[in-house]
Structure 1
Amino acid sequence: MHNIVENTVIEWFTSDTEKRQIERILWVSPSNDVAISIAMEDDKAFPLMKTHSEYIAGLESNLCRVVEWVNGNIPLLDRELDEEYLNLREKSWDAIKGIVLDEPGCFDKSFRGSRVREAQERTGLHKSTIYRYLRRYWQGGKMKNALLPHYNNCGSYGNDRMPGEAKRGRPRKFEEESLGINIDEETKQLLRSGIRLFYNNKNKSPLKHAYQKTLEKFFTTGFRQEGQAIIPILPPTDKLPSFGQYRYWFKKEMDLEDTLKSRHGEKRFALDYRPILGSSTYESFGPGSRFQIDATVADVYLVSEYRREWIIGRPIIYIVIDVFSRYIAGIYIGLEGPSWIGAMMALANTTMDKVQFCAQYGIDIEPEEWVSSHLPQKLTADRGELEGEKPSQLIDVLGVDVENAPPYRADWKGIVEQQFRLVNLRSIQFIPGAIKERYRERGQRDYRLDAKLTLKEFTQIMIRNVLYHNNHHHMLWYDRNEFMVADEVAPVPRDLWHWGIINRNGRLKKQPENIVKLNLMYQGEATVTAAGIQFKGMHYGCELAMREQWFVIARANKTWRVKVCYDPRSTNEIYLWLDEGRQFETCMLLEREERYRNKRIEEVEDLLEIERYQGRHQGSNNMLSKIELDAHTKAIVDAAAKKTEEAIQQSQESSNQRIKGTRQRRSNEKLINREQEVFKLSEQVTSPDSPTSNVVPLKRDGKPETKQTYIPPADKLSKIKAYLLEDGDDDE
C-alpha cells in the first residue's frame, strides 16, 4: 500500500529518456484528493497542484518511486553554528514566516503574490530575494535551517586545489629549508603507491623508511655505480616532495583499519584493534542461552597414581561456563586432549548429578552447591574439537547449536578464557610442581622435580575452585540490568543463575545422562554378518541380535549395516543406535576376538593395517610364483599333448575303441602304480637273482611263516603288458 505524506520526495522517470524530475510533497489535503509539490532541482520552481491519485497510479505503474533525500547543506544542530549565521537565518525567516505558515493559501499564486508584496514593504527586501527564501524553505523540507547561508558552497572547502606555479602551504622560516613541491594528482598517486608498498606491509617499517623507499623507487632519474654498489640518483630536494608532505598525505588519506590489517594481519587486528561495542552478557538471554567451552594445559606437573616417583606431565583442564551468570556448568580434568574426547567428557559432565560426581573424589556437597545438570541452547567452542561430523549429534539430536570461533580469536570465548587465568591465580601457581616461569635460568631448580600431586588430587583442588567460584565469587565488574538491580541480585554466579532460572526460564535443556553420553561418542557403521556384528575388523554380539536372529538372517539372506557409537579408548564394547539415539543396545566383543580385548581402537586399526600391508607385500610374491607355476604347467601340458597326439596317430584307434576297456585298464594301471608306490624302508634294492635276501620271516604262534612263492615284479609287469596287448572286454 503506497502512502503519500508531507515531505515525501518523489522521483519521476521514463524508460525512453535519462532525464529525471524530483519533487517534494509540501501539503496533502485532509481528504487525500489533492497534493501540492515543488521541483527540487529547479531554481525557479513554484508549488504545483496534482491529484493524489496521480501519484498512486505512478507508483503502482513504476513511473515514479519514493526516494530518500538528504540535504547536506542543512545543519541539524544549532549549537554548532556561528551567531552570525543564526542572525541571517532569523532575518530570512522573519521575511517569509507570515507567508509559509498560512497553508494551503500560500500555494495559491495570487494569494502568494499579495503576501510577498506586503513582505517587501515590511522588510525592504527585493521580490526575488523573498521568492528565493521561499524556495529554499520548501525545497529544504520546510525547515528553518534551510534558510542558513550556504557558505560551504563558497571556495573549495574539502576539495583539493589545483596546483599552480606558486608553492602552496605554510611558508618556510629559513630560505635554505626544503620547500617541497606542489602535489598534483600524478605525484599523489606515486605517494599512495609508496605508502601501500613500503608502509602497509608485514615488515612494519617506520614512515621515514617508507618515505625513503618511495623516493628511491618513483623519483629516481638515473643510477651510478661505485664498485659493486648501484646508487640511485635523485633530483634536488626542491624538486622532491618533502617528508612533511609525505606524512600529510599519509594522514589525510590513511585508512586506519586497512593499515592495521596490512601491518599486523587480519587475525591480530580482530584480536587487538577491533571495536569493542558489545558485551558477552547481552549475547545470552538467561541461563543456558549460551555456554562457552575451552581447554588449556595446566601450568603444573603431576605424578602417577600408581608410582608416585613417576612424573606424568601436565593435565588438561576443560571448563564449560554459562555466559549469562558465569556459572561453571561442567569440567574435565584428565590427560585426554585437547581433543574431541576431552570435550566429550566435559560436555557429559554438564549433565551429570554433581553430588555423585563430587562423591567420586571424596567431596560431599549439597545439591544446591552445584545445581547445573543441563545442556545449553548454544555452545561456543574452538574450531578444533567441535568442528566436522563428530558434534553433529549435538545439533541434530540433543538440540544444541554449536558455534565455532574463528582461528586465533580467543576473545570470542573471553569468559571461559578468563576462568583459566583466575584458576591459575587462585590455586595452581601455589601448587608444588607449578610452572613459575616459562624459561628457567641456568642452574635454577627444575620445577618438574617438585611435582607432588596425582591427577585425582589435582581434580579435587579444581572441584573446590569451582565450588568457590559458583557460590562465593563476587564479580564487581558484572553489568547487572535494571531488573537485577531492582531485585537486589548480588553479582555472584549462583545468585545470577537462580535469578535467571526464575525470570528468564526456557533455555536450559535436560537429557538423561546415558543418552547424552551416547550422542557424544564417536559414531560409525557396523555390518551384521553371520559371524557377528563386524566393526573395524572386530566382531561383537548382543542379546537383541540373538533374540531377533540377526546372524541367521545374515547367513540365509545377506548382510546389512547398522549405526553404532563407540568410545575409541576401549574395544570391549560398542553401542547399537536405536530409535534415533533415544535408546541403545550394548554389544560385547566376542570371545574369539580375545586379541583385541582391552585395547584402543587406534591400536587395533594399526594392527590390521600392518597385517594388510604384509598381505599386500606377500601378494606380489604370490603373483610371481603363480606366474612361474603357470609357465611350468603349460610346458608339461604342451609336451604331454604332443606325445598323446603322436600315440593316437600311431595306434590308429577310433574314439569308440579308445573308450572301451577303460575300467580294466584303470585296474591294471592301479596295479602298476602300487608296485611303484609301495613303502620301502631299506634303500637297498632287491636283486632278481636273490629274491629273498631282504625278506624277514614273521613268526605266528611261535612257528615260522610258511614260505610263499615269490613272483618278481618284472614277471608281473610282463604279464600285464601282454594282457594289455590283447583285446579287453567293454567297460559297459
Structure 2
Amino acid sequence: MRTLYENMVVEWKLSDSEDRYIERIVWISPSDDLLFSIAMGDDKAFPIMKTSSEFVAGFESNLCKPVEWINESIPLLDSDIDSEHLDIRNKSWDAIKHIVLDEPGCFDKAFRGSRVRETQERMGLHKTTIYRYLRRYWQGGKMKNALLPHYNNCGSYGNDRTPKETKRGRPRKFEDEPVGINIDEEIKQLLRSGIRLFYNNKDKAPLKHAYQKTLEKFFASGFRKEGDALIPVLPPSDKLPTFGQYKYWFNKEMDLENTLKSRHGKKRFALDYRPILGSSTYESFGPGSRFQIDATVADVYLVSEYRREWIIGRPIIYIVIDVFSRYIAGIYIGLEGPSWIGAMMALANTTTDKVEFCAQYDIDIEPEDWVSSHLPQKLTADRGELEGSRPSQLIDVLGVDVENAPPYRADWKGIVEQQFRLINLRSVQFIPGAIKERYRERGERDYRLDAKLTLREFTQIMIHNILYHNNNHHMLWYDRNEFMVADEITPIPRELWHWGIVNRNGRLKKQPEHIVKLNLMLHGEATVTAAGIQFKGMHYGCELAMREQWFVKARAGKTWRVKVCYDPRSTNEIYLWLDDGHRFETCTLLEREERYLNKRVEEVEDLLEIERHQGRNQEVNNMLSKIELDAHTKAIVEMAAKKTNEAIQHSNESNNQRVKGTRQRRATEKLINREHEAFQLSEQASLPNSSANNVIPLKRDETAEKRTAYIPPADKLSKIKSYLLEDGDDE
C-alpha cells in the first residue's frame, strides 16, 4: 500500500482520452481518511475534498501514479532573490498568511470568503488578487517563495526576438541619448567577428577598445584623408549599435573558457583558471606512492661561514614531500641549483638516516621524530632538473618512475609549492636579512645588510621547521577518508604516514644509501691507458687496476673504455661502475695530477679548454716564428753557397781530392778553433800584445825532455798558420 503525504503530486490517467490530470495534496486529516487537493495548472482551481481510499484504489489499479513536480520559477535561496522581488513576496504573504495558516478551515468556501473580505478591508486589495495569491501558494507546494513575481513568464525569456521596425529595449531617459539599432543576425555576426578579432587576442585590449575597432572595421562607410592619415567615416549614432548593445551580446554569447585562452594563452589558463575539481591526495594510494620535489630561492640573505662580514646571497631550498601524508621525506639547503646537483642532494637525503643527518647540525632527535629513509614509487618534478638522460638511473636501477610537470604548470606540484609558502610564513620572514618587499622604496635600508645567519645556521632553522611540520602541523583542510575517520586519525603528517604504512603498505622502496648516491651521480666513460685511468683530461688509479695489471695491459696492447660515475663538485675521486651499479671501485687522483686536486670538474674542464685555446693561439705564433727562422736560414745558406761555389771554382782540386783530405783538414780546423774557444778569465788575456799569452815553463825531467822535445802551443799554432799560408801559395 502506497503512503500518502502532504504536497504529494499525483497524475491521473483519464479513461476516455490521453489527457493527464495532475493535482497536489495540500492537507491530510489526522485519521488519514480525508484530504484536500488542488488541480495543477488551473488558474481558477481551489482545494477540493477527497477520500484517501480513492487514491489508494487508483494506485492499485494503475489509474494514477505519483510524479516529481519541480517548479523552476520558485527559487529556494533568498540570497539569490532581488530585494524588490522580496518586498512583493512579503506583501503578498501578509495578505494571505492569516487565511492559509488556519487549516483545514481555509479550505471551506464560506470561511475562506469571509477572511478574504477582511483582507480586502485591511489592505485594500482586490479579491481576485487575494485568490490568485492563495492559488499560487497551494499549487506551489505551500511555499512562501511561490508568491514571488513570475517575471520570467513575461515576454519571451531566453529567446531572441525577431527584429522589427520598432526599436527594442528599454526607453531612453534623455532625448539626446543614443538609441542604437535593432540587432539582426547580420549585425550580430559583425559583433561576433569584432569580439573575436579585437578582444579575444593576446593584446588584452579592454572591451571599449574592441567596440571602437569593431565600428571602424565593419561599420565605416569609407575614409576621408587628412594629411597622410585615412580616417574612417562612420554613419550617425542612431545607425550604429551602442556600446551597451555590444556589451550585452558579448556577455550573452561569450565563451569564457575560449576568451581566457585567447587572451592569456592555454598555459596560463591551465595554471590560473582551469577548474579545480580533483585532489592531489587521491593521486596517491599511500606513503611512497608519489613524492613531489621542487626548489625555491629562499627569501633571505646569508653570510659566509668563514668570514661573517661577507654576504653570500640567498640559499636554495629543495624539499621532497610525500603526497599522501604531506610528510617531508628529504631536504637540501645549499648553494647548488636549482639544478641536477641540488635535486641529487635532496633525493639522496630521502634515503639518509635522519638521526645522523640532524647530528651533523648538532640537533639530537629520536628515530621516530623523522622516520623516512625511503625512495618513492613515483616522483613528480620540474622539467629542468629531472629531464633528459640524467634521471635514467632512477628509473632503470632504483625503480622510481619520474614524472615531469608540463611547462608553466606549478599547480601540478601544488603540495610542495604550498610548503614553501608555509616555511616562509613560519620562520623565514622573521629572520634577519629576509626580503620584506620585492621592491624597496627609495631611501629605505637595504635588507641585505641585515644578514646575520650562515648557511649552517639557516639549515638548522629549516630542520626545526620540518620537524615541527612532520610531527605537529595539524592540517584542518586535509580530506580524511572514512577509514581514517573510523580509526580517529588526526590529520598530522606523522599520524597519516604511520596509518598509511599499516593500512596502505607496499609503496616505499629501500635501497642502501651508497647505492642511491652512486646512481644519482653523473655518469660518463673513462679510458684505461698506460698512464692511468683517463677521465676528462685527468688520470686516476685504483687497487683493482693495479691488481689486474690494467696499465701494463694498456701499454702492451691497446686502451679500452670503462663506465664511471662522479660528483662534479670534486675531482679527487671517481667511481668505477661494476656489476650494473650494484658495486663500485673508488679511483683516486694520481699524485702527478696535483694541480687538479680539490677542484670542481667544471673548473678543470675550463682550465683544459683555456690551455687548448692558448695552444691554438701559440700554433699561429710558432708558425710565424718558423717562417722567420726559415727565411734567415735560407739567406745564410744562399750566401754560404755563393761563397763556397766561388771557392770551388777557383780551386783546382778534384772531387776525390776534396774528400780525401777531410780528416787532416778537420784536425787543422780543430786546432784553430781551440785558440778561440779556450777559457781566458784574466782581463789582459784578451789583449793582443799581452804577456799573459806567454807560457811559464815548468821544471822538466831531463830524461823525459830527451825523449820528447816540448813544443809550446803558440809555436805550434805559428807553424800551422805558416803551413796553411804556404799551402795557399801553392794553390
Aligned to 1:150: none
- Structure 1 residue 715: Cα displacement: 3.9
Aligned to 1:351: 351
Q: Residues of 1 paired with 2:647 and 2:11: CA distance?
A: 134
Aligned to 1:607: 607
**In the alignment, residue 264 of structure 2 is paired with which amino acid?**
H
2:667 counterpart of 1:671: yes
Asked if the contact 1:315–1:335 (Cα under 8 Å) also holds between the matched residues in 2, the reply is yes
Q: Residues of 2 paired with 1:652 and 1:196: CA distance?
A: 109
Aligned to 2:511: 511
Aligned to 1:273: 273
Q: Residues of 1 paired with 2:496 and 2:190: CA distance?
A: 59
**In the alignment, residue 450 of structure 2 is paired with which amino acid?**
D
Q: Residues of 1 paired with 2:213 and 2:720: CA distance?
A: 112
Asked if the contact 2:200–2:259 (Cα under 8 Å) also holds between the matched residues in 1, the reply is yes
Asked if the contact 2:339–2:384 (Cα under 8 Å) also holds between the matched residues in 1, the reply is yes
Q: Residues of 2 paired with 1:457 and 1:176: CA distance?
A: 74
Asked if the contact 1:672–1:717 (Cα under 8 Å) also holds between the matched residues in 2, the reply is no
Aligned to 2:258: 258
Question: Which of 675, 695, 698 is equivalent to 1:697?
Answer: 695
Q: Residues of 2 paired with 1:258 and 1:199: CA distance?
A: 11
Change (3 A) 1:671 1:369: same
Superimposed CA distance per residue, residues 390-419 of structure 1 (whole angstroms, 9 cap, x where no aligned partner): 222212221212212223322111111111
Q: Residues of 2 paired with 1:464 and 1:427: CA distance?
A: 10
Asked if the contact 2:290–2:378 (Cα under 8 Å) also holds between the matched residues in 1, the reply is yes
Q: Per the alignment, in what secondary structure is the counterpart of residue 406 of structure 1?
A: coil
Q: After superposition, where does 1:148-159 map in structure 2 within 5 Å?
A: none
Aligned to 2:498: 498
Asked if the contact 2:172–2:179 (Cα under 8 Å) also holds between the matched residues in 1, the reply is no
**In the alignment, residue 452 of structure 1 is paired with which amino acid?**
K
- Structure 1 residue 649: Cα displacement: 11
Superimposed CA distance per residue, residues 403-445 of structure 1 (whole angstroms, 9 cap, x where no aligned partner): 1222332211111111111122222223333333333444544
2:453 counterpart of 1:458: no
Q: Residues of 1 paired with 2:421 and 2:532: CA distance?
A: 51
Q: Per the alignment, in what secondary structure is the counterpart of residue 419 of structure 1?
A: helix
Q: After superposition, where does 1:437-476 map in structure 2 within 5 Å?
A: 437-476=437-476
- Structure 1 residue 713: Cα displacement: 3.5
- Structure 1 residue 493: Cα displacement: 1.0
Change (3 A) 1:695 1:200: same
**In the alignment, residue 617 of structure 1 is paired with which amino acid?**
N
**In the alignment, residue 476 of structure 2 is paired with which amino acid?**
L
Gaps of 5+ in 2: 1-8, 21-66, 68-155
- Structure 1 residue 483: Cα displacement: 2.1
**In the alignment, residue 487 of structure 2 is paired with which amino acid?**
D
Aligned to 2:619: 619
Q: Residues of 2 paired with 1:310 and 1:250: CA distance?
A: 59
Gaps of 5+ in 1: 1-82, 95-144, 146-155, 726-732
- Structure 1 residue 279: Cα displacement: 0.6
- Structure 1 residue 287: Cα displacement: 0.9
Change (3 A) 1:241 1:573: same
Q: Per the alignment, in what secondary structure is the counterpart of residue 565 of structure 1?
A: strand
**In the alignment, residue 696 of structure 1 is paired with which amino acid?**
N
**In the alignment, residue 473 of structure 2 is paired with which amino acid?**
H
Superimposed CA distance per residue, residues 534-571 of structure 1 (whole angstroms, 9 cap, x where no aligned partner): 12221111111111111111112222222222112211
Q: Per the alignment, in what secondary structure is the counterpart of residue 476 of structure 2?
A: coil
Superimposed CA distance per residue, residues 91-119 of structure 1 (whole angstroms, 9 cap, x where no aligned partner): 6599xxxxxxxxxxxxxxxxxxxxxxxxx
Asked if the contact 2:684–2:690 (Cα under 8 Å) also holds between the matched residues in 1, the reply is no
Q: Residues of 2 paired with 1:487 and 1:246: CA distance?
A: 59
Aligned to 2:404: 404
Superimposed CA distance per residue, residues 188-234 of structure 1 (whole angstroms, 9 cap, x where no aligned partner): 44333321222112332221221111111222223335567653210
Change (3 A) 1:88 1:444: farther
Q: Per the alignment, in what secondary structure is the counterpart of residue 511 of structure 2?
A: coil
Asked if the contact 2:222–2:233 (Cα under 8 Å) also holds between the matched residues in 1, the reply is yes
Asked if the contact 2:527–2:535 (Cα under 8 Å) also holds between the matched residues in 1, the reply is yes
2:589 counterpart of 1:589: yes
Deviates more, 1:551-560 or 1:301-310: 301-310
Q: Residues of 1 paired with 2:658 and 2:549: CA distance?
A: 53
- Structure 1 residue 680: Cα displacement: 5.0
Change (3 A) 1:500 1:166: same
- Structure 1 residue 476: Cα displacement: 1.3
**In the alignment, residue 461 of structure 1 is paired with which amino acid?**
I
Aligned to 1:308: 308
2:219 counterpart of 1:219: yes
Aligned to 1:567: 567
Q: Residues of 1 paired with 2:388 and 2:194: CA distance?
A: 44
- Structure 1 residue 644: Cα displacement: 9.1
Asked if the contact 1:322–1:329 (Cα under 8 Å) also holds between the matched residues in 2, the reply is yes
Q: Residues of 2 paired with 1:345 and 1:528: CA distance?
A: 30
Q: Residues of 2 paired with 1:349 and 1:90: CA distance?
A: 84
Change (3 A) 1:88 1:357: farther
Q: Per the alignment, in what secondary structure is the counterpart of residue 223 of structure 1?
A: strand
Asked if the contact 1:303–1:454 (Cα under 8 Å) also holds between the matched residues in 2, the reply is yes
Q: Residues of 2 paired with 1:449 and 1:415: CA distance?
A: 33
2:204 counterpart of 1:208: no
Q: Residues of 1 paired with 2:505 and 2:12: CA distance?
A: 56
Asked if the contact 1:350–1:373 (Cα under 8 Å) also holds between the matched residues in 2, the reply is yes
Asked if the contact 1:390–1:522 (Cα under 8 Å) also holds between the matched residues in 2, the reply is yes
Change (3 A) 1:713 1:438: same
Superimposed CA distance per residue, residues 218-266 of structure 1 (whole angstroms, 9 cap, x where no aligned partner): 2222333556765321012333333344334433443322211222233
Q: Residues of 1 paired with 2:11 and 2:169: CA distance?
A: 29
Asked if the contact 1:686–1:693 (Cα under 8 Å) also holds between the matched residues in 2, the reply is no
Asked if the contact 2:685–2:692 (Cα under 8 Å) also holds between the matched residues in 1, the reply is no
Change (3 A) 1:358 1:652: same
Q: Residues of 1 paired with 2:686 and 2:368: CA distance?
A: 104
Superimposed CA distance per residue, residues 667-695 of structure 1 (whole angstroms, 9 cap, x where no aligned partner): 245235424543155799999xx999774
Aligned to 2:319: 319
TM (normalized to structure 1)? 0.70
Asked if the contact 2:291–2:376 (Cα under 8 Å) also holds between the matched residues in 1, the reply is yes
Q: Per the alignment, in what secondary structure is the counterpart of residue 319 of structure 2?
A: strand
**In the alignment, residue 667 of structure 2 is paired with which amino acid?**
L
Q: Residues of 2 paired with 1:220 and 1:580: CA distance?
A: 76
Asked if the contact 2:163–2:183 (Cα under 8 Å) also holds between the matched residues in 1, the reply is no
Q: Residues of 1 paired with 2:343 and 2:16: CA distance?
A: 71
**In the alignment, residue 588 of structure 1 is paired with which amino acid?**
T
**In the alignment, residue 274 of structure 1 is paired with which amino acid?**
R
Q: Residues of 1 paired with 2:279 and 2:12: CA distance?
A: 42
Superimposed CA distance per residue, residues 565-587 of structure 1 (whole angstroms, 9 cap, x where no aligned partner): 21122111111111222111111
Q: After superposition, where does 1:349-428 map in structure 2 within 5 Å?
A: 349-428=349-428
- Structure 1 residue 508: Cα displacement: 1.1
Aligned to 2:233: 233
Count of aligned positions: 575
Change (3 A) 1:482 1:676: farther
Deviates more, 1:638-647 or 1:406-415: 638-647
Asked if the contact 2:287–2:504 (Cα under 8 Å) also holds between the matched residues in 1, the reply is yes
Asked if the contact 1:691–1:712 (Cα under 8 Å) also holds between the matched residues in 2, the reply is no
